[in-house]
């Protein structure tokens, strides 16, 4: 049976928390635009809606299902939304972004620990009730396979390229000149091991260049006391040149990428790691700790770090800074990898998956 009507196909997204600036929030917006381009009715429903996005989404309790609707459920954490979506009498497609292990948040954020701990159980409840479980990396897909999901596939995060068109000139002016600039972009939470990035930078400032700068871009809202501890750590090292930016606008983010000589992450858990793709987009050489989905997202691009030796990694950053030949080779591979994440390619992939489920879109897709 075909379960779509050409005139009024509804593909709605459900997300526990709809926030600007994070990878999931950006993808939700990009997907909504895509579904609408394809002629479907597409709304966003969330448990929490960030003030900046008020009006772009509805609280999920306000959703009333229509039999032909399709629910796209973004899953990364336990929430009351899971039970709500699971019970909806419509077809469901899970979009799995991985679950951060709860232990990283113990001693930092007890509420989050509880949500993360129950997340696996909630995820498993979709095993039989979803028509397809998509994961944004092969690493995540293996998680689903491990939970015996019968139908799984990989769909890389759909980038919203329009996000980065503007650049905040004030940021560019503020940090122009000076020594090498390193960038780390992520939520400031314990699993990202930002203290390890600080350690590497500490060596760089002490032993290579006292002019170097480190930009730590991201919000510490969900990290409990992690951000204050991190700031205290920087103070106790007597370390200058570290900039905590908190959550930033797309234009400010673009400015930091343009300023950076290298992107650095020592994160020990990543379900996809969007900033790697952003670094590819902005031609910033990547140095990343080999954990979670990082090697899958890079797939041979950038430099993977197997062991955290702050001195050696700092010297490696210096090699990248002063060796244009090496930098050029790294960037050439990164550009080649970026092609994999081209929105047109991801859209074609997504449309293919959905059409296999019998969903017929009124309008043709690009390249479809």
State the residues that interact with other proteins by CB under 8 A: 107, 195, 199, 202-203, 206-207, 225, 228-230, 232-233, 236-237, 290, 300-301, 303-313, 315-316, 319, 326, 329-330, 333
Q: Is the Cβ of residue 114 or residue 319 nearer to other proteins in the bound state?
A: 319
What's the CA gap between 99 and 107, in Å, rounded?
18
Q: Is the Cβ of residue 37 or residue 315 nearer to other proteins in the bound state?
A: 315
**Measuring CA to CA, which residue among 157, 357, 176, 160 is closest to residue 273?**
157
What's the CA gap between 187 and 216, in Å, rounded?
9
Least distance CB 59 / other proteins (angstroms): 32
Least distance CB 313 / other proteins (angstroms): 8
Least distance CB 290 / other proteins (angstroms): 7
Least distance CB 283 / other proteins (angstroms): 16
* Side-chain-side CA neighbours of residue 303 (13 Å): 21
Q: Is the Cβ of residue 165 or residue 306 nearer to other proteins in the bound state?
A: 306
Least distance CB 277 / other proteins (angstroms): 17
Q: What is the 3-state secondary structure (H, E, C) of the chain?
A: CCCCCCCCCEEEEEEEEECCCCHHHHHHHHHHHHHHHCCCECCEEEEEECHHHCCCCEEHHHCCCCCCCEEEEEECCCCHHHHHHHHCCCEEEEEECCCCCHHHHCCCCHHHHHHHHHHHHHHHCCCCCCCEEEECCHHHHHHHHHCCCCCEEECCCCCCHHHHCCCCHHHHHHCCCCCCEEEEECCCCHHHCHHHHHHHHHHHHHHHCCCCEEEEEECCHHHCCHHHHHHHHHHHCCCCCEEEEECCCHHHHHHHHHHCCEEEECCCCCCCCHHHHHHHHCCCCEEEECCCCHHHHHCCCCEEECCCCHHHHHHHHHHHHHCHHHHHHHHHHHHHHHHHHCHHHHHHHHHHHHHHCCCCCCCCCCCC
Q: Is the Cβ of residue 97 or residue 187 nearer to other proteins in the bound state?
A: 187
Q: Is the Cβ of residue 53 or residue 326 nearer to other proteins in the bound state?
A: 326
Q: Is the Cβ of residue 71 or residue 313 nearer to other proteins in the bound state?
A: 313
What's the CA gap between 265 and 197, in Å, rounded?
7
Q: Is the Cβ of residue 122 or residue 268 nearer to other proteins in the bound state?
A: 268
Q: Is the Cβ of residue 124 or residue 336 nearer to other proteins in the bound state?
A: 336
Q: Is the Cβ of residue 162 or residue 228 nearer to other proteins in the bound state?
A: 228
Question: Residue 88 class from Cβ within 10 Å (0-12 exposed, 13-18 middle, 19+ buried)?
Answer: middle
Least distance CB 267 / other proteins (angstroms): 15
User: What tokens does 10 get?
Assistant: 């509804």
Least distance CB 305 / other proteins (angstroms): 6
Least distance CB 340 / other proteins (angstroms): 14
Least distance CB 140 / other proteins (angstroms): 21
Whether 270 and 288 have beta carbons less than 8 Å apart is answered as no
Q: Is the Cβ of residue 299 or residue 344 nearer to other proteins in the bound state?
A: 299
Least distance CB 89 / other proteins (angstroms): 45
């Amino acid at each position: 049976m075909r379960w779509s009507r050409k005139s009024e196909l509804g593909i709605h997204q459900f997300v526990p928390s709809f926030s600007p600036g994070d990878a999931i929030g950006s993808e939700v917006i990009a997907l909504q635009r895509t579904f609408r381009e394809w002629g479907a009715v597409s709304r966003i429903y969330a448990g929490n809606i960030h003030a900046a996005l008020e009006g772009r989404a509805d609280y999920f309790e306000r959703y009333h299902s229509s039999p032909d609707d399709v629910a796209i459920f973004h899953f990364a954490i336990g929430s009351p939304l899971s039970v709500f979506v699971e019970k909806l009498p419509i077809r469901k497609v899970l979009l799995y972004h991985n679950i951060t292990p709860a232990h990283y948040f113990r001693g930092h954020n007890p509420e989050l620990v509880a949500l993360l701990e129950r997340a696996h159980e909630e995820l498993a409840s979709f095993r039989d009730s979803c028509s397809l479980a998509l994961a944004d990396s092969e690493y995540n897909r293996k998680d689903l396979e491990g939970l015996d999901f019968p139908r799984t596939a990989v769909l890389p995060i759909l980038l919203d390229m329009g996000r980065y068109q503007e650049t905040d000139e004030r940021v560019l002016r503020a940090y122009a000149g000076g020594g090498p600039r390193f960038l780390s972009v992520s939520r400031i939470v314990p699993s990202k091991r930002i203290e390890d990035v600080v350690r590497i930078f500490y060596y760089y400032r002490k032993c290579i260049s006292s002019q170097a700068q480190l930009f730590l871009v991201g919000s510490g809202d969900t990290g409990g006391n992690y951000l204050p501890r991190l700031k205290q750590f920087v103070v106790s090292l007597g370390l200058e040149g570290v900039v905590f930016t908190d959550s930033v606008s797309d234009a400010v983010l673009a400015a930091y990428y343009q300023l950076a000589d290298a992107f650095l992450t020592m994160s020990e858990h990543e379900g996809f790691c969007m900033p790697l793709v952003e670094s590819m987009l902005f031609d910033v050489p990547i140095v990343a700790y080999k954990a979670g989905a990082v090697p899958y997202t890079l797939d041979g691009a950038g430099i993977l770090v197997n062991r955290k030796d702050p001195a050696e990694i700092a010297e490696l950053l210096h090699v990248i800074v002063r060796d244009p030949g090496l930098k050029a080779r790294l960037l050439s591979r990164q550009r080649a990898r970026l092609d994999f994440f081209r929105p047109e390619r991801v859209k074609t992939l997504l449309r293919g998956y959905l059409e296999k489920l019998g969903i017929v879109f009124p309008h043709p897709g690009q390249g479809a």
